[in-house]
Amino acid sequence: MSKRSESEARRRSRIVRLISFLVVNSIFTAVLVVVAFFYGWSSVSRNLPDLRGWHLDAPPSEFRARDESRRFTFADLLAREDRAFAELAAFIREDWTDEQPSGLSRYRPDSVSNPDAILPRNWNRTFVFEHDAPIGGALLLHGLSDSPYSLRAIGERLHKEGYTVIGLRIPGHGTCPAALAEARWQDWAAAVRIAMRGLRDKVPSSSPLVLVGFSNGGALAVDYAISAMDDPALPQPAAITLFAPMIGITALAEITALYPVAARISGQEKIAWSRIQPEIEPFRYSSWPTNGSLQAWRMTQRVERGLARLQREARMDRFPPVYTVQSVVDATVQVPRLIERLFDRLPPGKSELLLFDVNRKAWLEELISFDFEQGVRPRLSRPDLPFTLSFVTNVDENSLEVELRTRRAGELTREPLGLAWPDEIFSMSHASPPIPADDPILGTAAATEGVGLPLGSLSLRGESGVLAIADASLVRLRHNPFYEFTEDRVIEWLRRTLQPAAPAPPNPADPPPPAN
């Protein structure tokens, strides 16, 4: 072998060794990162508070997707719900008596948080407002860990407008957190299909059906609309109203896909929980099972794939018009992705995005991070928006008063609203759009004074990390200071959109709805 050949062989050998070293090193580093990640996850889980009965015991009669059939009716779904709540009552009465905390707890019969006692009805359960002469039907779908309570106000208004309304309890919700730890997105989607069939049976066949979804319920509403386009046998929605829909959510949600692996590796029960807190809220879980986030993530991915498919198939022109209420800042929903994944695909002309800006009063300017503008502003300043953009923002930096700026077909208009930001509020939140300021639990201090559980106006001061509830829960806005305006805009849009299909609404002063 010549010296040149030997040199070439040595060079190739060095390259092979270097590549092998880099590959082994990369694999070793990746393994270390994975081990460190799961070790950290496991360590955080071990430090969570102890699990209680409501984290471990779920009503066995909860509806599952496998129960769905053409013969399984909405009445059957309500009967199944009755059984699940009877089982929950037995847990509270018998199995969990030794685990009850001495203070606030939704599972303590003598607590102000008891959902059966705090208000005249338990809003954790499905509600039905029937109308004698309905102009249409509306199905309301609440958010993750939430209950039908969150859409109570819009449900009551829709009934006054002439709609028969169903506020559906999504399976896994309204009972105990353990039920959400076992739920699957397929259960949610199946319950929505059954409820829509039940709603169709309650109104004339010529009357339009409306879907109203909040957060994860917004994703479920869009998912149903996609399914209905694929299956003409399903009742077809004529319009969709969304409050902070869980579409285009933060990419960090992808980490929930690792939860099943982490659970199998660790064998810890508490690793199934992102948060364990006292259950002080009557109509919402305080503890958070990781499975809930995982199922919501899978639902959002299903929705985004479905929308992309309809766009590829050139079928989005038949998608129902959409009205969305959204805060420009949202810890769950990324507004730029919501616009890209949903609104940019909608047929032009009828859909609208009502967007609430942050409070831009001058003294708040140095306290607010405006990073969100980098993604939002370019998408909203386009002259060719295929939807109407309605933007609620300060009149100027010296005023708390707000105005409505509307961009429709390239034209911009400004309208004074006679409304203003409350002094202490710097923005809306993901949780606030469908909740009125006069809500007796989640509203202002004046609204919550008589109930004894002022969750919407709770103001406590002290050292961080001392309370058993998250510090963030004391900062996050739980109601919409502009709710009446928001509600009126939704109703006006529905009237315009459904006018050919719906007769004139009855007098809004009609008596309150009878509840089934």
Residues 405-434: tens digit of each pLDDT: 999 887 889 999 999 999 989 999 999 999
| Residue 260: per-residue pLDDT | 62
Alpha-carbon distance 457 to 471, whole Å? 14
Separation CA 324–CA 387 (nearest Å): 11
pLDDT of residue 307: 98
State the Cα angle at 457 between 452 and 458, rounded to 5°.
75
Q: Is pLDDT at 80 greater than 90 in this prediction?
A: yes
Q: CA 212 → CA 82, 143, 166, 170, 243, distances in Å?
A: 24, 11, 10, 13, 8
What separation in angstroms does the CA of 252 have from each of 35, 198, 425?
19, 37, 27
Alpha helices (H) in 203-331, listed in sequence order: 216-230, 259-266, 290-312
291-328 in b/e burial notation, b at 16+ Cβ within 10 A? bbbbbbbbbbbbbbebbeebeeeeebeebbbbbbbbbb
Output the pLDDT for position 267. 63
149-153, 297-301, 360-364, 394-398, range with the lowest pLDDT: 360-364
Which tokens in the block code for residue 496?
A: 């315009």
Torsion of CA 451, 454, 457, 460, to 10 degrees: 140
Which is it for strands 163-168 and 127-129: parallel, antiparallel or unpaired?
Answer: antiparallel
Work out the mean pLDDT of the chain and round it to a whole number. Answer: 88
pLDDT greater at residue 356 or residue 504 = 356
Interaxial angle between packed helices 3-46 and 259-266, expressed in degrees from 0 to 180 and rounded to the nearest 10? 80
Q: Which residues of 197-216 are buried (b: 16+ CB within 10 A; e: fewer)?
A: bbbbebbeeebbbbbbbbbb
Instruction: Give which of 169, 175, 170 is closest to 86, Cα–Cα.
Output: 175
User: Mean pLDDT, to the nearest integer, of 315-333?
Assistant: 95
355/327 Cα distance (integer angstroms): 6
* pLDDT exceeds 80 at position 512: no
Between helices 290-312 and 185-202, what is the axis angle to 10°? 70
- The pLDDT > 70 percentage for the chain reads 83
Q: Is the confidence at residue 134, as pLDDT, over 80?
A: yes
pLDDT of residue 155 exceeding 70: yes
* Ramachandran quadrant class, 174 (left: phi over 0; alpha: psi -120 to 50; beta: rest): left
Say yes or no to pLDDT of 438 above 80: yes
Q: What spatial distance separates the first Cα and last Cα of the chain, rounded to whole Å? A: 94
For the ranges 51-60, 266-275, 431-440, 479-488, the lowest mean pLDDT is seen at 266-275
Does the pTM exceed 0.85? Answer: yes
Fold adopted by 45-498: Rossmann fold (3.40.50)
Helices and strands in the chain, H and E counts: 13, 12
DSSP state of 133: S
Task: Give kind and range of the element (H or E) at residue 356.
Answer: strand 352-356
Q: What is the pLDDT of residues 344-381, one digit of tens each?
A: 999 998 999 999 999 988 777 777 777 777 777 777 77
Per-residue model confidence (pLDDT) at position 451: 86
Q: How high is the pLDDT of residue 226?
A: 99
Q: Given a cut of 60, is residue 39 above it in pLDDT?
A: no
- Sign of torsion, CA 393 395 397 401? negative
Residue with tokens 């880099």: 22
Of 10-14, 285-289, 480-484, which range is least confident? Answer: 10-14
Report DSSP letters for 379-433, one per residue: HHS-TT-SSEEEEEEESSTT-SEEEEEEEETTEEEEEEEEEE--TT-----TT-T
Query: Please, which residues have CB within 8 angstroms of residue 331's CB and are 6 or more apart in sequence?
Result: 250, 429, 430
Tell me the per-residue pLDDT of 459-475, one tens digit each, with 9 for 90 and over: 776 777 777 677 666 77
Model confidence at 504, in pLDDT bands (50, 70, 90)? very low
Residue 16 phi/psi, 5-degree rounding, is -60, -45
Judge whether residue 279 has pLDDT over 80: yes
The domain limits of the chain are 45-498
Q: Which residue has the tokens 């982490």?
A: 262
Flag the least confident range among 133-147, 300-314, 354-368, 496-510.
496-510
Percent of the chain with pLDDT over 90: 66
Lowest mean pLDDT segment, chosen from 94-98, 481-485, 492-496: 94-98
| Of 144, 130, 218, the residue nearest 174 (C-alpha) | 144
**Segments in 184-283 forming alpha helices (H):** 185-202, 216-230, 259-266
Give the best-scoring range by mean pLDDT among 41-55, 312-326, 465-479, 488-502.
Answer: 312-326
The packing angle between helices 74-90 and 185-202, to 10°, is: 130
CB 442 within 8 A of CB 473: no
Beta bridge partners of 165: 129, 138
* Sole residue written with tokens 């010529």: 206
Give φ, ψ of 389 to 5 degrees.
-105, 120
Residue 116 to residues 110, 122, 175, 456, 457, Cα–Cα distance (Å)? 10, 5, 12, 20, 22
Cross-strand bridge partners of residue 128 = 166
Reported as a single tens digit per residue, the pLDDT across 206-222 is 999 999 999 999 999 99
Q: Across-strand partners of 50?
A: none
Q: Which of 155-169, 187-201, 332-346 is predicted least confidently? A: 332-346
* Range scoring the smallest mean pLDDT among 180-194, 468-482, 492-506: 492-506
Q: pLDDT higher for 346 or 254?
A: 346
Residue 169 pLDDT > 50, yes or no?
Answer: yes
Which residue in this structure is represented by tokens 């040199």?
Answer: 7
